[in-house]
Amino acid sequence: MPNLDPDGILEDIRRGYDGDAWHGPPLRKLLDGVTAEVACSHPVPEAHSIWEIVAHLAAWDGVVVDRITKRRAIETPEQGNFPPVTKFGPEAWAESLQEMDRQHARLIEAVSTLDEATLNETVAGKNYSTAHMIRGVAQHMSYHAGQIALLKKLAEAKDDTAS
């Protein structure tokens, strides 16, 4: 059995979300000041918007929490891989951010209860361990944080050229 560090895995998730991430600004800091208008814009045709990515991250954090706590196979979020954004405007954007924060808090809570033995268990319906899945959460968050950083810059650049 490999030597696992439950606290280290948890710290990686915390840093990537709202801490001192080694790769640059953490996810939550990247979203500071993003307006509903910027969040729903599509500066790259055929790419997801910031808002869609936020909904995606919240949905998948929920799946991981359910896999940990319910110990049953869950393939994809009930609302879909990239849940559709159906309400728009500043209040709806704030609600989406709150949902992402809520799901992230649930994730932190679920991961904080895990010990080394549980981290080594195979995830129900998968061929990988709980530790592998949770490390994947940190990687998934970093991947999408990079997308958000670029989408934010592109949307702001389009605003500057329109002025």
Per-residue pLDDT of the chain (163 residues; tens, 9 = 90+): 455 777 888 898 999 998 887 778 999 999 999 999 999 999 998 999 999 999 999 999 999 999 999 888 888 888 889 999 999 999 999 999 999 999 999 999 999 999 989 999 999 999 999 999 999 999 999 999 999 999 999 988 876 666 5
- The dihedral built from the CA positions of residue 145, 150, 155 and 160, taken in this order, carries a sign that is positive
Q: In angstroms, what CA-CA distances link 141 with 38, 86, 87, 114?
A: 20, 23, 24, 20
**pTM of the predicted model as reported, rounded to 2 decimal places:** 0.91
Domains assigned to the chain: 6-162 (1.20.120.450)
